[in-house]
Amino acid sequence: MNIQQSIHNWMTEHRQSAVRLLKRFVEEASVQGSEKHAQAIVIERLRQLQLDIDIWEPDEKILRSHEAFASNRSTFRDSPNVVGVLKGKGGGKSIILNGHIDVVPPGDLSQWTEDPYTAVVKDGNLYGRGATDMKGGNVSLLLAIQALKELDISLKGDVIFQSVVEEESGGAGTLSCVLRGYKADGAIIPEPTNMKIFPKQQGSMWFRVTVHGVAAHGGTRYEGVSAIEKAAVVLKHIEGLEKERNSRITDPLYNKIPIPVPINIGNIQGGTWPSSVADQVILEGRIGVAPHEKMKNVRAEMKAWLELLPQCDEWFAEHPVDLEWFGAHWLPGEIELEHPLMTSLSSSFYQVKQKQPIIEASPWGTDGGILSQVGDIPTVVFGPGVTEVAHFPNEYICIQTMLDAAEIIALTVADWCSIAD
Residues labelled catalytic? 102, 167
Q: Determine the Cα–Cα distance for residues 100 and 133; give it in Å rounded to an integer.
A: 8
CB atoms under 10 Å from CB of 272, counted, come to: 9
Residue (146 or 366) nearer to a copy of itself, CB: 366
Q: What type of residue sits at position 316?
A: F
Choices 79-87, 89-97, 142-150, 359-367 (CB under 8 A): range interacting with a copy of itself: 359-367
Contact (Cβ atoms closer than 8 angstroms) between residue 350 and residue 407: no
Q: Which of 37, 73, 271, 347 binds a copy of itself (CB under 8 A)?
A: 271
Three-state secondary structure call for residue 338: coil
Residue (93 or 200) nearer to a copy of itself, CB: 200
Three-state secondary structure call for residue 86: strand
Residue (165 or 211) nearer to a copy of itself, CB: 211
Determine, following the binding rule CB under 8 A, whether residue 231 of this chain makes contact with a copy of itself. yes
Q: Which of 6, 9, 276, 347 binds a copy of itself (CB under 8 A)?
A: 276
Residue 400's Cβ-count burial label (10 Å; 0-12, 13-18, 19+) is: middle
Q: Which of 77, 236, 243, 303 binds a copy of itself (CB under 8 A)?
A: 236
Listed in sequence order, the residues at least 6 apart from 368 whose beta carbon sits closer than 8 Å to its beta carbon are 187, 189, 191, 198, 201, 333, 379, 380, 381
Q: Which of 22, 172, 277, 411 binds a copy of itself (CB under 8 A)?
A: 277
Q: Which of 55, 120, 153, 259 binds a copy of itself (CB under 8 A)?
A: 259
End-to-end Cα distance, the chain: 17
How many residues sit close enough to a copy of itself to count as binding (CB under 8 A)? Answer: 47
Residue (158 or 284) nearer to a copy of itself, CB: 284
Determine, following the binding rule CB under 8 A, whether residue 229 of this chain makes contact with a copy of itself. yes
Q: Determine the Cα–Cα distance for residues 415 and 420; give it in Å rounded to an integer.
A: 11
Q: Which of 73, 347, 363, 400 binds a copy of itself (CB under 8 A)?
A: 363
Residue (204 or 348) nearer to a copy of itself, CB: 204
Determine, following the binding rule CB under 8 A, whether residue 344 of this chain makes contact with a copy of itself. no
- Least Å from the CB of residue 226 to a copy of itself: 7
Residue (252 or 258) nearer to a copy of itself, CB: 258
Q: Determine the Cα–Cα distance for residues 191 and 261; give it in Å rounded to an integer.
A: 19
Alpha-carbon distance values, 257 to 23, 121, 127, 148 (Å): 34, 33, 29, 37
Please, what's the largest Cα pairwise distance for the chain? 86
Name the residue among 71, 82, 70, 72 with its Cα closest to residue 37.
82
Q: Which of 106, 157, 285, 291 binds a copy of itself (CB under 8 A)?
A: 285
Q: Determine the Cα–Cα distance for residues 271 and 269; give it in Å rounded to an integer.
A: 7
Q: Which residues bind a copy of itself (CB under 8 A)?
A: 202, 204, 206-207, 217-222, 226, 228-229, 231-232, 235-236, 258-259, 262, 264-278, 281, 284-286, 288, 327-328, 363-365, 390-391
